[in-house]
Amino acid sequence: MNLYLRYFDKETLVTSVDEAINFLADIDEVGMNAALEADIREYVASDVYYPKRYKVRPRVYFIIIKTEAQSMQDFKDKKAVRSAVGNPKERNASPALMKLNEERFGWYECELDFKRVLMVPGTGKFQYRDTHFVVQLKGTSGQDCYNRIVEHLRERVDERSQFPSAKGKNFHFTYLGMAK
């Protein structure tokens, strides 16, 4: 495990935490002290792989990145980037999004929270009201059910009503099975 360090235009790729501390100690603005050294050693020893940045002064930081790169050029070319397991298509899609688009014909129970426009009887003005809609329907996927629900509601509520994204927290569905 190597470490990439950068402070403005000063950067280096080192193989040990001692080399990293020596690099930072040579930069006067960083102000290397025992507490900072202990924190850097703790970060390097941990299983955390996200970059760590340290504040030097307001809006000024230096950064440390753990990497498998053997040279600065390999690091710049991103040849040693930690990758997720699986094929590239699965790596970029979230599990919730994959579940939403998974093709499974059958019955679904869906819940949708949306903003419905209603007229206030006393004033004649309109306002948005949070509305919870639950339905059981046949569909081929969660996305198919969402599309059918929104199409159904658009025909029956004020056109100014607002519907959430199928990918958001206001739409939930459960696969019930083939027979109901």
90-144: pLDDT as tens digits: 445 566 678 888 888 999 999 999 999 999 999 989 999 999 999 999 999 999 9
* Proportion of the chain above pLDDT 90, given as a percent: 53
pLDDT at 18: 93
How many CB atoms neighbour CB 71 within 10 A?
A: 12
Question: Rounded to an integer, what distance in angstroms lies between the CA atom of residue 72 and that of residue 14?
Answer: 9
Q: What are the percentages of helix, strand and coil residues in the chain, rounded to 5?
A: 30, 35, 35
pLDDT grade for 28, boundaries at 50, 70 and 90: confident
pLDDT at 86: 45
